[in-house]
């Protein structure tokens, strides 16, 4: 498990262990859930005064001044208010006693558990849970469980839909109607300009208590409410199901939402269906990394964010640059989707890749209108697009400074390489999938009509006898007006080469379609001859002697720069130098020549070669603002660095990309997920570290795994077949290394008595409580408490004395308060002998490590002991219901590690713990005297001097004895 401030990561689960109000907006982005139809930011159900709540549905754009159109923030399905004797549960008031929020990637489930004390002193446990169903994209589920801790009181619940959502102060919706249904309501609204209708329906169910539901249809804010009395330690469950349709999906969205809701099963059934759908998706798309738990989680997290943004049933929408997770870029679609995101889907979810590319087909008319506007032929794709494909890049950047000059955004006019980039994506989708039908019906028209655009866009320099493309912005946006950008010119040449191939293929394979397109696009023999001429004569600024490529005409004459002179810094070089200052210097926002080499790398087409890459890396990498320029750069640098054998740099760039949102490295995660970076991460793992290359028949791996990665496993779809790669790092050849008898891949440690001796603190806390209650207690009595839960321990101490449940709960809390105070002074010096060296040895050997402790303070203790970063998972007193000797805790730990029970070893110092390990079907190592842990497979006095090799030797002895 790795920690960043208040985050912990296991292979599949992100846990936030305390509420940080100043991180609110970034965390809302990070905890986004979705299902490919919609995305909902991680706003709290009870809301917060500073909340930036949003649910975005694909294709629901509406007009807005200056930026033309934007994804409209849709009516909010989350509101769920809890009132306790008239006081509203909210995190900006009262006191948070316990808090954790979890995003479970494996099943797309977001949950939050709190213990909260109201301003008047009433304590309540609250657990929230939500999902956007991957099994049925129109279904949303919410659950809330309440447990009164120390009061009898009146609880009021109100579940609502907020029909007044805003895009940062701008409301796109006009409420039309709403009404009541059995145990719920329906709601109807419409966007103001685009006139898209939304229909929603909701129902609520309460269990654990008798409560009458009331429906209130206040205009724009329909609600279901209930009021009931709750007793101490009584648990009440509230389930809220919401359905949503728009007029993009069906003619009558309100009726569809009501009909869907009426037919739905209960919450648990819907949640299970969602989990099953996720299991099927992960089966194709998962990447397993062993030996680096932080990277393992980060990769899955980024893939999860792509999977929840990819349209499954709609080929007229695409993934915006910020996915469906934030307001950044207004939900507009860039080249990010085709170049950075698409490969992940092409190789693991080709149906989704097809949807994304089909969007470009359906928006061709917008591209044609843009070409005509600028006086060109064919199709010229918008730099930023929405539904129609028309250009929606804002013409001006409006600054918040009253006296600043507005900044002209030139990308819409000059960053024209996107038309070739889309053709590139079409070509590679076809090459990987062999989807001839799609190429015939969709792809060919995209490639040919954009090729016609290039024929009209290039200029012939008769003096130099060459074609040029002047007045552009290349991939590097620090240079806003350049001529003959090599990235653009070479991609245009490549595009025209492929257009010729596609046209010939169409003529041979589908002559009728070929003739149809030739007529529709006015594709004459003269234009095709022009393509060949451009291919031969377009200017590529490449020096065949040095193999150095000039980024654009005159780039080498610009003022040089040493970025090290500007360190340390926290902002981009353009912010430091100014727009004109960056324009005049050899400083790059992102890879440009190196990006071209990356795109040509897979097929080893000109100008790619290993030597050319080395020469240009040495020149351009030091001049690239890789830390604060573009988020698109680090993943590409990681792949190229891996190609060049720069494994450490490759890993650093990879992690920079992988953690860009989880650690808010650029300070703008609040605006939404960096979608292009997420897609680049998949490419960095598969193409960079996995070294995947393609022959005519199949993909082949040439791995160079980062240090510490002992295993890399993934699947690829290639021409109708699935190929599974299971790549391993050699672990060394010392005697015994690699011998598994049995096969062991995970180690689970108990805490007390194994890693540290907090037993003395437990004893002192119990002793203080017993003294206060007048109950005899000594160290001998304390021995009976080893390995059992707090409640079971208290029951043994009080024996047959009679106490009420309220008193028992109070004593448990009092004991825990004493214990918590005592452990505040724990440090790494309190680790038992041999712990650190064994943990390090196990990690070096590539084993997964978990903590399996009944303690509810386990997180705090291992942080103070300084070993949190050595754990891949934590199972603690909050993880399961049944305590040891039930096997649940260790089974949960194995599940978190992603391992079967029989591949795990448990280190335990208590008889109950050993019994739990054996009941789980795991191997047990007992720590302490045989009379206490004699049932274990191996018994050790302590961990001093223990190594993985010695442990394997002991298991080898067991195996030999069984022969």
Catalytic (active-site) positions: 477
Nearest to 551 by CA among 502, 456, 623, 609: 623
Cα 910–chain centre separation: 39
Q: What angle do CA 789, 790, 796 make, to 5 degrees?
A: 90
Is the Cα dihedral 240, 241, 247, 251 positive or negative? negative
Question: The sheet that has 197-207: what strands, in order across it?
Answer: 2-4, 7-9, 13-16, 95-104, 109-117, 123-132, 139-148, 235-246, 197-207, 184-191, 173-181
As given in the structure block, the two tokens for residue 450 are 């954009």
Give the contacts of 883 (CB within 8 A, at least 6 positions apart). 788, 789, 791, 792, 854, 877, 889
Largest CA-CA distance found in the chain, in angstroms, rounded: 105
User: DSSP 3-state assignment of 677?
Assistant: helix
Q: Please say whether the beta carbons of 306 and 392 come within 8 A.
A: no
Backbone angles phi, psi at 715, to 5 degrees: -115, 150
- What is the C-alpha to C-alpha distance for residues 895 and 888, in angstroms, rounded to an integer? 10
Q: Please say whether the beta carbons of 598 and 640 come within 8 A.
A: yes
618 burial level (CB within 10 Å; 0-12, 13-18, 19+): exposed
Nearest to 11 by CA among 660, 841, 848: 848
- What is the C-alpha to C-alpha distance for residues 772 and 822, in angstroms, rounded to an integer? 17
**CB atoms inside a 10 Å sphere around CB 263:** 8
- What is the C-alpha to C-alpha distance for residues 167 and 152, in angstroms, rounded to an integer? 41
Count CA atoms within 13 Å of residue 453 on its CB side.
28
Give the contacts of 477 (CB within 8 A, at least 6 positions apart). 411, 415, 589, 590, 630
Question: DSSP letters of 432-459?
Answer: HH--HHHIIIIIHHHHHHHHHHHHHH-E
Beta pairing partners, 747: 849, 905
Question: DSSP letters of 471-540?
Answer: SB--S-TT--SBSS-HHHHHHHHHHHHHHHHHHHHHHHH-HHHHHHHHHHHT--HHHHHHHHHHHHHB--
As given in the structure block, the two tokens for residue 461 are 């320099």
Q: Please say whether the beta carbons of 429 and 421 come within 8 A.
A: no
Nearest to 100 by CA among 669, 878, 762, 833: 878
Backbone angles phi, psi at 391, to 5 degrees: -70, 125
């Amino acid at each position: 498990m790795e920690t960043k401030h208040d985050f912990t990561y296991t292979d599949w689960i992100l846990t936030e262990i305390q509420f940080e109000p100043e991180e609110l907006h970034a965390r809302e982005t990070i905890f986004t859930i979705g299902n490919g139809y919609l995305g909902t930011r991680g706003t709290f159900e009870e809301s917060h005064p500073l909340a930036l709540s949003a649910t975005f549905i694909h294709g629901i754009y509406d007009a807005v001044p200056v930026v033309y159109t934007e994804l409209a923030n849709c009516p909010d399905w989350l509101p769920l208010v809890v009132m306790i004797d008239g006081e509203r549960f909210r995190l900006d008031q009262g006191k948070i006693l316990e808090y954790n929020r979890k995003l479970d990637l494996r099943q797309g489930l977001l949950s939050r558990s709190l213990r909260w004390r109201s301003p008047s002193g009433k304590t309540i446990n609250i657990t929230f849970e939500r999902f956007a169903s991957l099994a049925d994209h129109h279904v949303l589920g919410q659950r809330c469980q309440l447990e009164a801790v120390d009061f009898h009181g009146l609880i009021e619940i109100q579940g609502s839909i907020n029909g007044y959502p805003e895009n940062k102060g701008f409301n796109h919706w006009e409420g039309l109607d709403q009404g009541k249904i059995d145990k719920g309501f329906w709601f109807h609204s419409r966007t103001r300009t685009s006139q898209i209708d939304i229909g929603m329906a909701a129902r609520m169910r309460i269990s654990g208590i008798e409560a009458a539901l009331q429906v209130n249809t206040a205009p724009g804010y329909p609600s279901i409410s209930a009021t009931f009395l709750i007793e101490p330690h009584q648990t009440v469950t509230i389930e809220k199901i919401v359905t949503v349709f728009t007029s993009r999906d069906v003619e009558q969205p309100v009726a569809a939402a009501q009909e869907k809701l009426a037919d739905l099963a209960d919450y648990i059934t819907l949640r299970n269906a969602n989990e099953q759908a996720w299991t099927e998706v992960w089966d194709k798309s998962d990447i397993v990394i062993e030996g680096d738990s932080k990277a393992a989680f980060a990769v899955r997290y980024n893939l999860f964010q792509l999977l929840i943004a990819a349209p499954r049933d709609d080929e007229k929408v695409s993934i915006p640059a910020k996915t469906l997770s934030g307001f950044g870029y207004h939900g507009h679609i860039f080249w990010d989707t085709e170049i950075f995101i698409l490969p992940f889907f092409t190789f693991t979810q080709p149906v989704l890749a097809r949807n994304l590319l089909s969007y470009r087909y359906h928006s061709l008319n917008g591209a044609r209108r843009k070409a005509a506007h600028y006086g060109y032929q064919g199709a010229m794709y918008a730099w930023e697009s929405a539904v129609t494909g028309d250009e929606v890049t804002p013409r001006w950047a409006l600054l918040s400074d009253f006296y600043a000059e507005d900044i002209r955004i030139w990308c819409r006019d000059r960053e024209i390489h996107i038309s070739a980039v889309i053709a590139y994506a079409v070509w590679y989708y076809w090459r990987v999938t062999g989807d001839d039908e799609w190429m015939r019906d969709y792809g060919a028209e995209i490639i040919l009509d954009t090729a016609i655009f290039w024929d009209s866009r290039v200029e012939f320099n008769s003096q130099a006898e060459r074609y040029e493309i002047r007045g552009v912005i290349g991939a590097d946006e620090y240079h806003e007006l350049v001529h003959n950008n090599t990235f653009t010119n070479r991609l245009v040449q490549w595009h025209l080469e492929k257009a010729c191939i596609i046209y010939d293929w169409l003529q041979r394979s589908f002559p009728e379609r070929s003739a149809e397109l030739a007529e529709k696009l006015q594709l004459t023999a003269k234009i095709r001859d022009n393509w060949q001429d451009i291919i031969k004569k377009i200017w590529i600024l490449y020096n065949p002697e040095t193999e150095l490529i000039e980024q654009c005409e005159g780039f080498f004459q610009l003022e040089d720069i040493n970025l090290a002179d500007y360190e340390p810094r926290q902002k981009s070089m353009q912010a430091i130098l100014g727009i004109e200052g960056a324009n005049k210097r050899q400083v790059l926002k992102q890879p440009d020549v190196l990006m071209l080499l990356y795109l040509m790398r897979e097929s080893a087409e000109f100008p790619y070669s290993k030597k050319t890459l080395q020469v240009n890396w040495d020149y351009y990498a030091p001049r690239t603002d890789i830390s604060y320029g573009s988020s698109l750069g680090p993943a590409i640098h990681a792949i190229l660095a891996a190609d060049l054998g720069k494994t450490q740099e490759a890993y650093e760039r990879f992690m920079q990309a992988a953690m860009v949102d989880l650690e808010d490295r650029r300070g703008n995660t609040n605006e939404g997920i960096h979608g292009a970076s997420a897609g680049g991460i998949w490419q960095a793992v598969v193409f960079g570290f996995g070294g995947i290359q393609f022959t005519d028949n199949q993909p082949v791996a040439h791995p160079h795994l980062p240090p510490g990665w002992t295993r890399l496993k993934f699947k690829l779809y290639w021409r109708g077949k699935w190929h599974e790669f299971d790549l391993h790092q050699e672990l060394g050849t010392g005697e015994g290394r690699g011998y598994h008898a049995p096969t062991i891949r995970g180690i689970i440690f108990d805490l007390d008595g194994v890693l540290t001796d907090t037993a003395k603190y437990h004893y002192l806390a119990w002793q203080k409580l017993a003294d206060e209650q007048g109950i005899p207690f000594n160290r001998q009595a304390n021995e009976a408490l080893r390995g059992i839960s707090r409640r079971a321990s208290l029951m043994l101490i009080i024996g047959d004395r009679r106490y009420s449940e309220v008193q028992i709960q109070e004593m448990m809390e009092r004991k825990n308060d004493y214990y918590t105070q005592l452990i505040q002074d724990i440090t790494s010096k309190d680790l038992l002998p041999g712990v650190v060296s064994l943990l390090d040895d196990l990690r070096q050997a590539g084993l997964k490590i978990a903590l399996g402790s009944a303690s509810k303070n386990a997180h705090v203790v291992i942080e103070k002991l300084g070993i949190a970063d050595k754990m891949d998972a934590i199972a603690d007193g909050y993880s399961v219901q049944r305590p040891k000797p039930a096997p649940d805790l260790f089974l949960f730990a194995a599940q978190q590690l992603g391992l079967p029970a029989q591949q795990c070893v448990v280190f335990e110092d208590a008889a109950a713990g050993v019994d739990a390990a054996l009941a789980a079907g795991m191997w047990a190592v007992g720590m302490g005297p045989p009379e206490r842990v004699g049932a274990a497979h191996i018994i050790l006095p302590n961990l001093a001097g223990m190594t993985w090799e010695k442990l394997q030797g002991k298991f080898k002895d067991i195996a030999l004895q069984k022969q």
